[in-house]
A and B are shown apart, each in its own frame.
Chain A
Amino acid sequence: MNKQPFIRIRKKDDRPFWQKLVIKFAFIVLALLIAALFINSVTKLNPIKVYVSMFKGAFSTKRRIWITVRDTCLLLSIAVGLTPAFRMKFWNTGAEGQILVGGLCSAALMIYLGNKIPSALLLVLMFIGSAIAGALWGLRPAYFKAKYNTNETLFTLMMNYVGIQLIEFFVDIWDKKQSHSVGIINGDTNAGWFPALFGQQYLLNVLLVAVITIAITIYLTYSKHGYEVTVTGESESTARYSGVNVPKVIIRTMLLSGALCGLAGFTEVAGISHTISVKTSGGRGFTAIIVAWLAKLNPLVMIIYSFLIVFLNKGAVQIASDFNLNEYASNIITGILLFCILASEFMTNYEIVFRHKEEQ
């Protein structure tokens, strides 16, 4: 009668660190195996060859390594930008839109002020402008969340599409050749482009992101603001009871989060693509949400996940061109990896108990 169920699940959150690491690693390997199986079944290619090709795509030349690092930093900066909002359990799914308007503001300044003021001053203005644009894009959802507790997930999501249309509008206005593309901005003078530091084109991107990451880590861990954010995220009632002005914290934190995402748009436009289009954000706003959450909002762990995802992306693009596949293969591989990492979360926090073990 009182038989134990055959399998049951028990919470186990006191696993030692090395065990968690082993589990994570095992699941990542599992993901690579599943992805290999998928590639093999669709294309009949040798999976080992495919992975060699992926590795080449990300690391074979010095330039490719720099590009991999550059893209890792970009993804990282968005994930870090989302962190303050997520600490507060404010589900900012609007990073895409915030990146886009940040990039849009940068591009506008490049177009209208380029070659009229010194490039250094222009870069500073672009930095400030894109941060403000991103912050304003995050302000409305935050204001209504604070006032009416409006669902922020959907609000920010809808703002993405408003942002996309805004970009389309300006692309048409700035487009001189009726090709629905702005083209490279200031290609002749490089006004408003990130300068190369020590001969490295992308060093400034890396430095900028490094500074932001460190600053945000310190802000969230050691400042009073950071503490207020965490308390609000844990329980709004507790926060209110301990004298935190919750609406103010929500709005302030979301302004910060939006500004950081706007800055990612600035980095993309000024430091990488030197143009603006709806592809400027390229889905990174969504990928960064996953990165931030999987890393448990720890910026250092985010570096690892950002790198892993960028590596897979580069690799998948390389396979696509090497073996004449379509580029969406990279989404599939990323999806498989993320599903496996999500599953590994379970294994690190719970354990499965079988009946016979119980009877002994």
Chain B
Amino acid sequence: MTSELLLAWISAAITFGTVIMFGSIGETLNEKCGGLNLGTPGVMMLGGIASLAGAFFYENSVSNPNPVLCVIISLLCCIIVSALAGLLYGFLTITLRANQNVTGLTLTIFGTGVANFFGGSLVKLSGGVGQINVAATSKAFKAMLPVLSDKLGVISKIFFSYGWLTYVVLIMAFAMQYFFSRTRTGLNLRAIGENPATADAAGINVTVYKYAASCIGSAIAGIGGLFYVMDYVKGTWANDSGIEALGWLAVALVIFTSWKPKNATWGAYLFGFCYWVYLYVPSGISAFLMKIFKVSKSTYMQNLYKMIPYLVTIVVLIMVSSHKKRENQAPASLGVSYFREDR
């Protein structure tokens, strides 16, 4: 493999990893507080479309969009809409005690519907023609770190040739880890995830924590959608886009990291490498496999290579569960609604 190809692979993996790292950190926050939000793919879709819509209307209303305003507006739209989705999830599962799996799946159906509906018709609804495109905002999000991105030769290319959100998410992951393990609020939150009744008895306001975890967690996951739209696909929208599949991988990544955000910092990129490996399989191996499967074209084999991230996740799931180390297990009350009067 040439170094050029390797560089392309690394860069694709890191961009990919950033999307699912946002998703998985948000989901981890929610799960640590006992909420299994299978609506994360839907939330990411909503975050993506909200940021796109915000940027679209702003760019269309002024002749010369200001990059800082572009970023603020689309980020704000994204966070508000995803937090609202988290609020809806929270209201249904925390206050109304609906089943978390079903609520989450519904949120995914709903979020995908809303996002694709508006993504497909935003241009038409606003009276324009053609494909939606927010070049200025996308460019603002793709802005790289100064100095580091051009002065260090190959190191710049490998580590610093990405949009600034790539580094924000890394900081967020470590901050989240610190929050869980070193702050009182984080400890309270984890206590709720393990046993809400005990936490309640200790005077922790379970409802407030759960709502906050759901809203903030969703907002963070939503930024993953924003990054996908603005950076990964460069400010456009494609229906049937990959956000949903990436969203499920983000949920899987939570398990892969055994609920520790610091592990997401490398796990996400590993998933990225696995996801893109189908483009970079060495031709020797590819030819060998083609002979085994009796396939005439190498593109046919790519379909099978694309299974790799999912298979890796499955293997990790099995390994984690077979070790039974206590610190690697899911929060004990994960997926269970809490009702004080229940015993």
Q: Tell yes or no: B307 within 8 A of A by CB.
A: yes
How many residues of B are in contact with the other chain, CB < 8 A?
A: 54
- Complex Cα distance, B108 from A349, in Å, reads 25
Say what secondary structure dominates the interface of chain A. helix
Q: Are A162 and B101 in contact (CB under 8 A)?
A: no
Q: Tell yes or no: B314 within 8 A of A by CB.
A: yes
Contacts of A350 in B (CB 8 A): 97
Q: Are B117 and A328 in contact (CB under 8 A)?
A: yes
Type the 1/0 row for A131-168, where 1 means its CB is closer than 8 Å to any CB of B: 00000000000001001111101110111011001101
Q: Tell yes or no: A329 within 8 A of B by CB.
A: yes
Contacts of B92 in A (CB 8 A): 339, 342-343
Stretch of A183-191, A202-210, A250-258, A283-291 on the interface side: A283-291
Which residues B283-338 have CB closer than 8 A to chain A? 295, 297, 299-300, 303-304, 306-307, 310-311, 313-314, 317-318, 321-322, 324, 330
**Given contact pairs A153-B101, A346-B97, A161 touches B109 in the complex (Cβ within 8 A):** no
Instruction: Select from chain A the residue with minimum beta-carbon distance to B252.
Output: A154
Say what secondary structure dominates the interface of chain B. helix
Q: How far is the CB of A89 from chain B (nearest CB, A)?
A: 10
Contacts of A10 in B (CB 8 A): 341
Q: Are B113 and A335 in contact (CB under 8 A)?
A: yes
Type the 1/0 row for B95-111, where 1 means its CB is closer than 8 Å to any CB of A: 11111011101111111
Total number of A-B contacts with CB less than 8 angstroms? 158
How many residues of A are in contact with the other chain, CB < 8 A?
A: 52
Contacts of B107 in A (CB 8 A): 335
Contacts of A93 in B (CB 8 A): 38, 101, 105
Q: Tell yes or no: A169 within 8 A of B by CB.
A: yes
Q: How far is the CB of B47 from chain A (nearest CB, A)?
A: 16
Q: Are B303 and A168 in contact (CB under 8 A)?
A: yes
Q: Tell yes or no: A73 within 8 A of B by CB.
A: no
Instruction: Select from chain B the residue with minimum beta-carbon distance to A86.
Output: B101
Supply 10 further A-B pairs (C-beta < 8 A) apart from A155-B314, A293-B99, A342-B102.
A10-B341, A144-B317, A290-B105, A328-B120, A336-B110, A339-B92, A339-B103, A343-B96, A343-B98, A346-B97
Can you report 18 A-B residue pairs in the complex whose CB atoms are below 8 A from each other? A144-B317, A149-B321, A155-B317, A172-B297, A283-B109, A286-B108, A294-B102, A325-B117, A328-B113, A328-B114, A328-B120, A334-B109, A338-B102, A339-B88, A342-B98, A342-B99, A342-B106, A345-B98
